[in-house]
Chain A
Amino acid sequence: MLLSWQHFPYFAIPSVLLWALGTYYSFREKKTLTATFTLLGIALFFAFICGLWISLERPPLRTMGETRLWYSFFLPVAGIITWSRWKYRWILSFSTILALVFICVNLFKPEVHDTTLMPALQSPWFAPHVIVYMFCYALFGAALAVALYLLFVPEKRDDENIWAMLDNLAYVGLSFMTIGMLFGALWAKEAWGHYWAWDPKETWAGITWLSYLVYIHYRQLSSNAFRGKVAIFMVIISFCCLQMCWWGINYLPSAQGKSVHTYNMK
């Protein structure tokens, strides 16, 4: 049987329930159960992606709806990796809720799902470029949550551990973003003849990249004075740039009709 978006709820809803169970057990500090349920949910969700991939005869990475699908897949993946490495109990609840939001968008506002893939996108670079970026978006989403937590709970700003977590998320997110961006550059050379052409999407990717670099370097100014609101706002502003890069430029007047990256707008 070929899978289509019609079958999405039958995969998405059980996945979310499994992730919610995983989250519940992470708060109860039951490690095996947390890992089992979360991974089961991830596997089920991935099964849908694979099924869709097969029935579309191309990787589902082109429309906004399809990238949201990957985003809701990578949030729990990033969540479970962060959880297993640093044992933050809250991280799974965050990744589950955010994944749920994106699943709901896909359930209630599905966009036209096209089955064709234009020649420019038919490249071995396509999947790694977008998947790595989606993973980095997920990590920066988590970084944003930590930053907002610090913003609204000022008494926690002296907690060394929370800052270390924010830094870790920023470092790992940035390393994925660098890889995604450079894959994009290598692909652009093969497809369009130049690795960096200041296309609006590229410009905004550059802005976002530099912006997270500012945060990382700012945080190295070691003394305690640099733990304040400035660092928090750097993460928040960087995340805004990231949104601009992801979907904002589709609505930016100065980028209209100029970007070669607008595949989903027809």
Chain B
Amino acid sequence: MGLMLQFTIGPIDWRLLEYPFNTILLAIYVLVLGILYAVRKHVYVIEWTMTIYAAVPALAYGVLVTLLLGLTGWDMMLRSWPFILVYFWLMNILGLITIRRILHFSQGSIVSNLCFICNHLGLFMAMVCAALGNADMQKCRLTAKVGQPECRAIDLTGTQMPPKIVELPLSIELHDFIIDEYPPKYVVIDNETDMTINDSPWVIRQDSIWEYAAIVYGRKDSLGNQDMDRYVEWHSMGACTAAFITAIRYASAKEAADAKSEPLDTKQGWVSCGSFMFPNRALRLDSLYSVVMPEREPKRYASSVTVYMGNNQKTDGIIEVNKPLEIDGWKIYQVSYDTALGRWSDTSVFELVSDPWLPWVYLGIYMMLAGAVLTFITAGNKKK
């Protein structure tokens, strides 16, 4: 049946359910479930739907359809009729049996009833509210440059191409974009393949480091020898990290790991990960190996911002990964920055999400969590 609908009507556009249609639909849906429950004694199908004999094939079919999505990775599945119908059918079952259990709460043990209701009603609420709330969810991407308040953003919810530009009810001014980086690493690579060598006989020691440095190119002296390039401390835009290192060679990789025996050879020089202004620099160790400083990994990146709302209100805040800023029903997430400039980026990319149905989905999730804990507690007592 799902396939038939798929071929006749085509994929489903969730956007059709925007407020207030989804709220009305929810009211009607709950009402219909109530009526179906009331007339269950007269209609065999409803009676059967509420038995475990209906639940098992429905769940199994759910696994099958989701498995198809998992194996193909085909996103269109999410808007296809077979997929939606399975989940709709599961919701119906969940809704009906929850009504029955609530109305017959006095029968059976309180804990097992509570456990049942938390598990089933929680899932019902999370699924229904997630599906209906999907239409009201707004998601857009905003790119802010230092010192320039920005209220235009790219709409990420629609499916149209190219994506629509929307004007938001708030604007974001970026004051500063900060990257904290992990300490640099030194990696020995193969000269020919550029592959990382984990078991080389070389040990790298860092002698000195400039977090912010500029390169000073060496000159050829009168004999035609190239004077060595070196790095100096320098704090302006475009500065890179550079380190002066000593590489020590041992007889084998194993001895290098212990670093106890006599070294055979040492080599000194500068290495740098470079920046958008300066090239990176490797130190050649011998005919086989070189040592490089890979680009430093960001530990934390954060934007210091002021958010202006329509009614002359403003809020200052720091937005970083895993720590979104919540304002006026919007959650603002740190997403990206100008990666070409790296630590010198003067732009920051945010994603703004507004999801009015979220509290209801969360209520469902919390009920399921409580249900899971109750399941754990009661698991052994049922059949021993």
Chain A residues in the interface with B (C-beta under 8 A): 85-86, 112, 115-120, 122-123, 160, 164, 167-168, 171-172, 174-176, 178-179, 182, 185-186, 189-196, 198, 200, 203-204, 206-207, 210-211, 213-214, 217-218, 220-221, 241, 244, 252, 254-255, 258
Contacts and interface: CB of A to CB of B under 8 A. Distances in A.
Nearest to A180: B372
Interface string B359-384: 00110010011011101100110111
Nearest to A185: B365
Given A119-B301, A191-B322, A172 B376 contact: yes
A119 B69 CA distance: 29
B52 A118 contact: no
B384 A207 contact: no
B101 interface: no
Contacts of B158: none
Interface in B346-367: 351, 353, 358, 361-362, 365
Contact of A182 (B67, B74, B369): B369
A245 to B, nearest CB: 9
Interface string B57-72: 0011011001101111
Given A178-B369, A193-B351, A193-B353, A86 B380 contact: yes
B372 A211 contact: no
Contact of A119 (B55, B62, B63, B300): B300
B372 A164 contact: no
Contact of B139 (A160, A174, A193): A193
Given A164-B383, A182-B369, A198-B75, A118 B376 contact: no
B375 A120 contact: no
B300 A178 contact: no
29 contacts: A86-B380, A115-B182, A116-B182, A116-B299, A118-B297, A118-B298, A119-B299, A119-B322, A164-B383, A172-B375, A174-B375, A176-B372, A178-B369, A178-B375, A179-B373, A182-B365, A190-B322, A191-B333, A193-B324, A193-B351, A198-B69, A206-B66, A207-B67, A214-B60, A214-B63, A221-B52, A244-B70, A252-B71, A254-B72
B62 A210 contact: yes
B322 A120 contact: yes
B383 A167 contact: yes
A86 to B, nearest CB: 7
A217 B55 contact: yes
Nearest to A248: B70
A175 B379 contact: yes
Contacts of A186: 362, 365
B198 interface: yes
A164 B384 CA distance: 6
B82 to A, nearest CB: 15
Nearest to B53: A221
A115 B362 CA distance: 34
Please name the 5 residue pairs, one residue from A and one from B, whose CB atoms are nearest each other, closest first.
A254-B73, A119-B321, A171-B379, A178-B372, A175-B375
A9 B324 CA distance: 42
B321 A211 contact: no
Contacts of A254: 71-74
Contacts of B371: 178
Given A182-B369, A191-B322, A214-B56, A168 B70 contact: no
Given A118-B298, A178-B372, A195-B365, 20 more contacts: A119-B321, A164-B383, A164-B384, A167-B383, A168-B383, A175-B379, A178-B368, A178-B371, A190-B322, A190-B323, A191-B321, A193-B139, A193-B331, A207-B63, A214-B56, A214-B59, A244-B70, A252-B71, A254-B74, A258-B73
B322 A123 contact: yes
Contacts of B139: 193-194
Contacts of A112: 198
B173 interface: no
B323 to A, nearest CB: 8
A109 B43 CA distance: 61
Contact of A116 (B60, B67, B297): B297
A123 B56 CA distance: 37
A189 B324 CA distance: 9
B130 interface: yes
B59 A217 contact: yes
Contacts of B165: none
Given A185-B365, A218-B56, A194 B353 contact: yes
Contact of B298 (A119, A179, A192, A213): A119
Contacts of B362: 186
Contacts of A120: 321-322
B59 to A, nearest CB: 5
Contacts of A178: 368-369, 371-372, 375
Contact of B321 (A122, A179, A207): A122
A193 B333 contact: yes
Nearest to B300: A119
A59 B368 CA distance: 27
Contacts of A203: 66, 69-70
